[in-house]
């Protein structure tokens, strides 16, 4: 039997992932501002809603009104999915969210259980790096967040900010070892033009396409193109 996968809603990315994400995994989506991390989260949650897999979007920075506006600009009506009970949006702080994972009777835990949440997108993990400068404490925070959601039997996508030079610095928390899958969204300069490039850097328990693909963002969201030949991601 073919192992069940959770489709992302982006056809080209699903092909790169051998059909989608592995259920129960923790996915890190890294990229600089404007590369489409939140757009990919929209794809992921809406695809789940369409397939009867309720989702939860946790935001530490953007108010729901802003998220509605961003999704509408891409052709998606988040309010409709909310009204149908297939999507939930939670605006909170990193500290409150972190403390909520220490008990099974927290508002977050109850929301996940009562609404049968199967997909979660969290925007963003970067906020936790501002809570401590201690590398061991940061890794403990990552473990608390990721394992806390895994106990709820959900498949979680975590967005993470990245500039061109901070991946090594941000690795002080060894985040790449904690998550199961890493999708990189990068800006790419080719012949004096700026484009976007996507790479699946890591995927546990599954084969995946490890080539770099160009992608675009427009009405309807992300479109992944063919592999790029001989061009490294910036």
How does DSSP assign the chain, residue by residue?
-PPP-B--S-HHHHHHTTTSBPTT-EEEEEE-TTSSHHHHHHHHHHHHHHTT--EEEEESSS-HHHHHHHHHHTT--HHHHHHTTSEEEEE--HHHHHHHTT-TTSHHHHHHHHTT--EEEEE-GGGGGGS-S-HHHHHHHHHHHHHHHHTTT-EEEEEEE--TT-HHHHGGG-HHHH-SEEEEEEEEEETTEEEEEEEEEEETTS----S-EEEEEETTEEEEEEEPSS----
pLDDT, average across residues 182-190: 90
pTM confidence score: 0.91
Which of the pair, 204 or 169, is modelled with greater confidence?
Answer: 204
Binned at pLDDT 50, 70 and 90, residue 170 comes out as very low
Binned at pLDDT 50, 70 and 90, residue 234 comes out as very low
Position 168 scores a pLDDT of 46
Binned at pLDDT 50, 70 and 90, residue 171 comes out as low
Position 101 scores a pLDDT of 85
pLDDT, average across residues 45-65: 96
Whether the per-residue pLDDT at 167 is higher than 50: the answer is no
Position 188 scores a pLDDT of 85
Position 110 scores a pLDDT of 87
């Amino acid at each position: 039997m073919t192992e069940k996968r959770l489709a992302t809603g982006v056809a080209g990315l699903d092909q790169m992932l051998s059909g989608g994400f592995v259920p129960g995994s923790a996915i890190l989506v890294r990229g600089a501002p404007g590369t489409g991390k939140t757009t990919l989260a929209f794809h992921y949650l809406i695809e789940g809603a369409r397939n009867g897999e309720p989702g939860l979007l946790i935001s530490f920075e953007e108010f729901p009104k802003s998220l509605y506006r961003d999704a509408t600009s891409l052709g998606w009506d988040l309010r409709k999915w909310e009204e149908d009970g297939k999507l939930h949006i939670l605006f909170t702080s990193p500290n409150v969210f972190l403390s909520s994972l220490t008990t099974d009777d927290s508002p977050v835990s109850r929301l996940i259980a009562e609404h049968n949440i199967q997909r979660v997108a969290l925007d963003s993990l970067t906020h936790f790096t501002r809570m401590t400068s201690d590398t061991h404490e940061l890794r403990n925070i990552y473990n608390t967040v990721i394992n806390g959601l895994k106990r709820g039997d959900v498949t979680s996508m975590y967005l993470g900010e990245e500039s061109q030079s901070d991946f090594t610095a941000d690795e002080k928390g060894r985040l790449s070892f904690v998550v199961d899958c890493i999708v990189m969204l990068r800006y790419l300069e080719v012949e004096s033009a700026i484009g976007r490039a996507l790479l699946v850097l890591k995927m546990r328990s599954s084969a995946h396409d490890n080539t770099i693909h160009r992608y675009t963002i427009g009405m309807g969201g992300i479109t992944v193109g063919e592999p790029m030949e001989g061009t490294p991601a910036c």
